[in-house]
Structure 1
């Protein structure tokens, strides 16, 4: 079963994804290891994040407002690239509005729906 990690600094998106995650876990469509986590400009990268992300099948991030040049993202991006993790980052309002790795174009379109 797939492990999905969803990270966001957007309250509404976080709440919607939390509800969806719980439903998918109840239906046994996603691993119980899948999580939604709330980020902020002050989120600190540490070993707990590494442990959470290292075996994720996909990481989905919705980030709005501040750029992704926060200390957290400066550690996150090299980590997910080094571990060749699949990810999609929707960073609306930043220079890098969209970053993706390991996701086919047709699957990416489904993520945006």
Structure 2
């Protein structure tokens, strides 16, 4: 793996017992390398500064704690999805109400002639 940042080039050798573990380790290493530099780095076409590298947890944590963390994350994701869906629904409803209001206003104009 090669990391070039601020004119500095670093090479890292990563390997795993199989290709899946090597990929997991490479993604973890890439996320660790950019940690703290998110404000300076962007994917092409993105302006939010989120690079999308998954968060990893220390391997020594007990499985029960890892499961608890995963449930907490899942709850937060579900709450965010519900909130986003409700906001979209309200925006669509408001747009439909504005359209109906304009249509009613157009019908109520007096006919001159």
Give the structure with the higher percent helix: 2
TM-score by length of 2: 0.24
Q: How high is the TM-score relative to the length of structure 1?
A: 0.24
Give the structure with the higher percent strand: 1
Higher relative contact order (CA 8 A, sep 6+): 1
Q: Flag the structure with larger Rg.
A: 2
